[in-house]
Structure 1
Amino acid sequence: MVYAIGATQLGGPDTLVEFDLPPQPLGPGQVRIQVTSAAVNPADVMARSLPRQHGDDSVRVPGMDVAGTITEVGPGVDRPLTAGDAVMGIVVPSGEHGGYRADLVLSARSVTKIPAGLSDAEAATLPMNSLTAQHALDTLALPAGATVAVTGAAGILGGYFVQLAKEAGLVVVADAAPQDEDFVRSCGADEVVPRGDAFVTEVRRLHPDGVDGLLDTAVLDAAVLPAVKDGGTLVTVRGWPGDGTDRVRVAPVFVLNYAEEAEKLDRLAEVAGRGRLTLRVAAHLPAAQAAEAHRALERPGVRGRYVLTFA
């Protein structure tokens, strides 16, 4: 049996309890991972608290980011992965299949090696959010020198986006609270504006016609549309499709569409290994304390990710 953390009912953090689950079968193109670390993301809170699509009472195991060691490689794997490799991976949770389990089977295309110098806990904070940031950049498709803004720049997703946008040669306008301004600038933001109600006004002060593109990680939706120039693009992360007008292209992105973009994940790991992505671990907690990690995540002002550790 496999140790896991999950929930059988909707509710708060205390619905997360320990389970012993049967191991998952290993199929073609897949690898088995002994999980050592699993990052706790806002998506995990939704997995625990939102209604099930099919209304069943099966165990729901959250978790979209893991790191650990490959213990078995299935047939037909065409990536340079072998048993014993230290790896990180992105998980698409479904029922008992989630990151909060000590033994996990993933597509080999959802997994990449951990660069030298990174701990498992650090690596576990990378896959889902960095792939989301890359998906946003690819969707914006801006040329070097174009202007891009980001809300929630001090968060994990926002910070990765700022750094990747600078790697792509973009001019970055980022929001920040006063206590986060130094960090956001350290990520490479060219211009920093206050977060909150003054965001659009300040962006327009710096760029009177608006910016070429914007990633809205703070989920402000329609409130940030005026910051984007006519014909520009707003990328949203919670599915908001726009206000029905066509002045600005609104493009929702979903990381599930990038869950098997192996080459992109390889590159993101390489960038992180060069120190060009800032990996932030807020704290390590034993997996049995997942409920406490969820409570901590829901407090305001958290920077970095809580990481669950599996013995």
Structure 2
Amino acid sequence: MRAVVVREFGGPEVLELVEVALPRPGRGQVRVRVAAAGVNPVDAVTRSGVLAGAGLMAPRAVTGIGWDVAGTVDAVGPEVTQFSLGQRVVGLRDRLDTDLGTYAEHVVLDADALAPAPAGATLAQAATLPLNGLTALQALDLLDLPAGSTVLVTGAAGGVGGFAVELAALRGLRVVALAGQDDEPLVRDLGAEWFVPRTAPDVAAAVRESVPGGVDGAVDAALLGVRALGAVRGRGAFVAVAAGSAPVPLRGIRVANVWITADGPALARLSGLAADGRLTLRVADTLPLADAADAHRRLEAGGLRGRLLLTP
């Protein structure tokens, strides 16, 4: 089968499309025939060597790329009873120490990293859900705010931020969305009560104009760090969505990083919300697997609304 791998770190040009043996599922594992794989910022920082430089990856001769997947089950290992051949599924590969990622024609994942795909959605749409949806969900779990609390979501029009706005609103949280000026209609449709343009010279002051005293918590999907921390009230909560982006916990603010983990039951709940139309699945474009380098160039150029996808 074909897969995209990295043998040496660098720019998009280091992504190689290679022929590899078809993987076989082991005990408790499922093989998925890939219909679409999401292209995410974590893929770019893996490819570039940033994660290896930060000590988050051990040295490897070959590194697989890709976390998100949607497709159909085409083989199951021993002791797997919850999935059947031909079933539409979504899943998350949350390990960096493997030769193959989801940029491939097939991928093997632990069964507990998979969930049924959202009914009524295409598999391309479904592939936008796992990484960004679980990151947003786990960020809000870390905030642990009661209904009626206020929360700032930075990067609210992006992949993680958009899901965070919708999931926060579903929890009864009152959302301040920080995004580009042209994104105000979008983030309000997603459930934001207030809007602050990301061009505001003082993000904290702009947020506090809407919520005097500061918000109860923040999900920092735009990686603003201390600039967003100032919008949070004393003894509030702040969650950063990338490693190393959490600021110092000033003013008694509880600060945490999301260290994303695959979670099949949680992904199943997200899939159900998407099937019910309560989570929005946004596709920016689809490209063939052979164009992975072009997809990474477009990702790094920015300005996307929705997720780029690779299709075998």
TM > 0.5:
yes
Aligned 1:72-111 pairs, distance under 5 A: 72-78=75-81, 80-92=82-94, 93-111=96-114
Q: CA deviation at 1:242?
A: 3.1
Counterpart Cα distance in 2 of 1:241 and 1:16: 30
Q: Deviations over 1:108-147 (max 9, x none)?
A: 1111111221111111110011000000111111111111
The TM-score, its normalising length taken from structure 2, stands at 0.94
Of 118, 128, 147, 1:125 maps to 128
Pairwise CA RMSD: 1.4
Runs (4+) off by over 4 Å: none
Q: What 5-or-longer segments of structure 1 have no aligned partner?
A: none
In structure 1, what is the equivalent of residue 210 of structure 2?
206
Aligned 1:21-100 pairs, distance under 5 A: 21-50=20-49, 52=52, 53-56=57-60, 58-78=61-81, 80-92=82-94, 93-100=96-103
Secondary structure at the aligned position of 1:36 is classed as strand
In structure 2, what is the equivalent of residue 295 of structure 1?
297
Secondary structure at the aligned position of 1:215 is classed as strand
Secondary structure at the aligned position of 2:252 is classed as coil
Are the counterparts in 1 of residues 33 and 73 from structure 2 also a CA contact under 8 Å?
A: yes
Counterpart Cα distance in 1 of 2:150 and 2:20: 49
Matched, 1:253 2:258: yes
Q: CA deviation at 1:246?
A: 5.1
Distance 1:95 1:75, change over 3 A: closer
Q: CA deviation at 1:244?
A: 5.2
Secondary structure at the aligned position of 1:255 is classed as coil
Secondary structure at the aligned position of 2:230 is classed as helix
Q: Deviations over 1:25-78 (max 9, x none)?
A: 32121111111111100011011101644434x222210101111011112225
Amino acid at match of 1:46: V
In structure 1, what is the equivalent of residue 272 of structure 2?
270
Counterpart Cα distance in 1 of 2:188 and 2:12: 34
In structure 1, what is the equivalent of residue 235 of structure 2?
231
Counterpart Cα distance in 1 of 2:246 and 2:195: 27
In structure 2, what is the equivalent of residue 165 of structure 1?
168
Amino acid at match of 1:249: R
Counterpart Cα distance in 2 of 1:142 and 1:54: 36
Distance 1:223 1:62, change over 3 A: same
Q: How many residues align?
A: 304
Q: Deviations over 1:182-224 (max 9, x none)?
A: 1111101011111143321111112221111100011011121
Q: What 5-or-longer segments of structure 2 have no aligned partner?
A: none
Percent identical? 44
Q: CA deviation at 1:241?
A: 4.2
Counterpart Cα distance in 1 of 2:101 and 2:133: 19
Are the counterparts in 1 of residues 120 and 275 from structure 2 also a CA contact under 8 Å?
A: yes
Amino acid at match of 2:22: P
Counterpart Cα distance in 1 of 2:181 and 2:213: 26
In structure 1, what is the equivalent of residue 155 of structure 2?
152
Q: CA deviation at 1:301?
A: 1.1
Are the counterparts in 1 of residues 208 and 214 from structure 2 also a CA contact under 8 Å?
A: yes
Q: Deviations over 1:69-106 (max 9, x none)?
A: 1011112225x311110111111243313111111110
